[in-house]
Structures are given as structure tokens and as C-alpha cells.
């Protein structure tokens, strides 16, 4: 696992992964906003995710923080046409408004994910993030695009996003721009690939990719490295996608 984690955490990974989109930016707020939006739509074919992510950035004039903070209603109209699977223009427009609310009244994304501090589990922090994110008036349908581990979800996309923001940029893949949270708090983004490989290795027994499975996987990975358990996301994902491990 250690060998594979090192092998698959390399910059060439960016060419095939949606994380390439926030890597276009240098300003902290641009990186975290772009990363959050791309992680939100990160399900399905990666080529499709990257295409939709590029569209998102174009609709925001490739200046995400400025767009979030300075947009008016006329600026939001072009977003109505956006569609990525079940995430549509209604959802996109609410996300922009919610992000402005977070930066205007809650000190930004990092602060909202830090509400329970760096000793709490990220399950609790993600739960509080969702509550804050949806404090504005919104359509109920949009809530499905932000998972809540305390409601049984593995919250794969949010855990992936948190890995991007918190893990060090040492290898040129993750960003390490959030300093308040600890890598020891992070959870593996549990999906079909990582789940199947973990079961093949015997470190995950539960068949469903839900929060109970995530807790089981987290427990196993923390035995390998309690300070940086989510580095094994590279091993599990790489073994499944690139090596066809069974």
C-alpha cells in the first residue's frame, strides 16, 4: 500500500483527473472555489467531468472568486443552461449564492469546514458545513448535491475535495492550502474503485459504499498511517483504475 501510494501520487495524474482544473489558479480562494465546484460534479466519466468543469469556469469568466463575490442577477442568467448529469443550472446558481454567503458572513470555505475544530472527525465538520451551506432559501432538490455522513453517506466527493485542500502539495497533486485541519482527520474518498480494491485486499468487509463502510476503511487505513491515512486513496484508486487489481 505504501509503495502504491507513492507510485500513483505524481503530477502526470493531473492530465487525466478533474483536479487539473483548480490547478489552473494561484489564489487561495480561486483554488478552493474551483475545487469545490469540480468535486461536486465529480461522478461519472472523468472526461465528461473535466469538460463540464471547464464549462463551469468559462461561465464564471475563469475568475471564480471574483464572480462569486461580485455577480449580479444578470451574470447568473447564463448559468441556467448548465447541466452535468443531475446537477443543473438551478443548482449551480444556488451554489454561487451560497458561496458568496459563506465568504461574506462565515469567513470562507476553510472556516466553515473547521467549525468543530481539528480534533473532531470530518463527519461532524461536513455535517455542519452542509447546514451552513443551505441556510439560504433554496430548492430541496439542490440538497442532494452535498452529502452528509451523519445521514449515512460516504460523502465521497467532499472527502476527495478535503484531501485536495488539506494534504501537502509536496508531490504536486494536492494543494495543502488549508492549514487549520489536519491530515489525520481526513477520510478516504470511498467509491466503486477504492471500495472494490479494499475488499480484495481484505481491509473492507462491508459490501455497501456507505458511511459504515467508510468508518471500517478509515479504521484500517489509520492503522497503516494514523497521521496521513488518506494518502492510501492514491493506492486504492490507482490499483483499481490503472492496474485492474482484483
Strand partners, 83: 88
Burial 190-205 (b: 16+ CB within 10 A, else e): bbebbbbbbeeeebbe
For residue 8, the cross-strand partners are none
Task: Collapse the DSSP code of 129 into the 3-class scheme (helix H, G, I; strand E, B; otherwise coil) and give the result.
Answer: helix
In angstroms, how far is CA 107 from the centroid of its own chain? 19
The CA distance from 99 to 65, in Å, is 9
Q: pLDDT tens-digit profile of 28-71?
A: 999 999 999 999 999 888 999 999 999 999 999 999 999 999 99
Q: Return the half-sphere exposure (C-beta side, CA atoms, 13 A cut-off) of residue 15.
A: 4
Nearest to 154 by CA among 244, 225, 233, 99: 233
In angstroms, the Cα distances linking 31 to 23, 113, 221 are 7, 15, 28
Q: How many CB atoms lie within 10 A of CB 42?
A: 22
Residue with C-alpha cell 494561484?
26
Q: Residue 118 has what pLDDT?
A: 76
What pLDDT, in 10s, does the model give residues 85-124? 999 999 999 999 999 999 999 999 999 999 887 776 899 9
pTM of the predicted structure, to 2 decimals: 0.96
pLDDT at 116: 84
Percent of the residues in the chain that have a pLDDT greater than 70, as a whole number: 100
Interval 200-242: pLDDT, tens:
999 999 999 999 999 999 999 999 999 999 999 999 999 988 8
β partners of residue 84: 87
Cell numbers that stand for 63 in this block: 475568475
Amino acid at each position: 500500500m505504501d509503495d502504491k501510494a507513492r507510485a500513483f501520487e505524481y503530477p502526470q495524474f493531473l492530465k487525466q483527473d478533474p483536479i487539473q482544473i483548480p490547478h489552473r489558479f494561484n489564489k487561495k480562494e480561486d483554488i478552493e472555489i474551483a475545487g469545490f465546484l469540480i468535486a461536486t460534479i465529480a461522478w461519472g466519466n472523468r472526461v465528461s467531468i473535466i469538460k463540464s468543469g471547464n464549462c463551469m469556469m468559462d461561465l464564471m469568466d475563469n475568475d471564480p472568486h471574483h464572480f462569486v463575490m461580485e455577480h449580479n442577477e444578470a451574470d447568473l442568467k447564463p448559468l441556467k443552461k448548465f447541466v452535468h448529469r443531475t446537477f443543473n443550472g438551478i443548482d449551480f446558481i444556488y451554489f454561487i449564492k451560497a458561496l458568496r454567503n459563506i465568504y461574506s458572513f462565515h469567513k470562507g470555505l476553510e472556516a466553515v469546514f473547521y467549525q468543530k475544530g481539528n480534533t473532531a472527525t470530518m463527519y461532524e465538520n461536513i455535517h455542519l458545513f452542509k447546514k451552513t451551506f443551505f441556510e439560504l432559501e433554496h430548492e430541496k432538490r439542490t440538497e442532494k448535491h452535498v452529502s452528509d455522513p451523519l445521514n449515512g453517506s460516504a460523502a465521497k466527493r467532499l472527502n476527495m475535495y478535503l484531501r485536495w485542500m488539506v494534504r501537502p502539495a509536496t508531490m504536486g497533486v494536492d494543494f495543502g492550502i488549508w492549514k487549520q485541519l489536519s491530515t489525520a482527520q481526513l477520510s478516504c474518498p470511498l467509491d466503486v474503485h477504492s471500495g472494490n480494491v479494499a475488499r480484495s485486499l481484505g481491509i473492507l468487509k462491508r459490501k455497501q459504499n456507505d458511511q459504515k463502510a467508510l468508518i471500517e476503511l478509515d479504521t484500517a487505513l489509520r492503522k497503516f498511517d494514523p497521521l496521513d491515512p488518506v494518502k492510501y486513496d492514491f493506492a486504492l484508486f490507482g490499483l483499481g483504475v490503472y492496474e485492474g487489481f482484483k
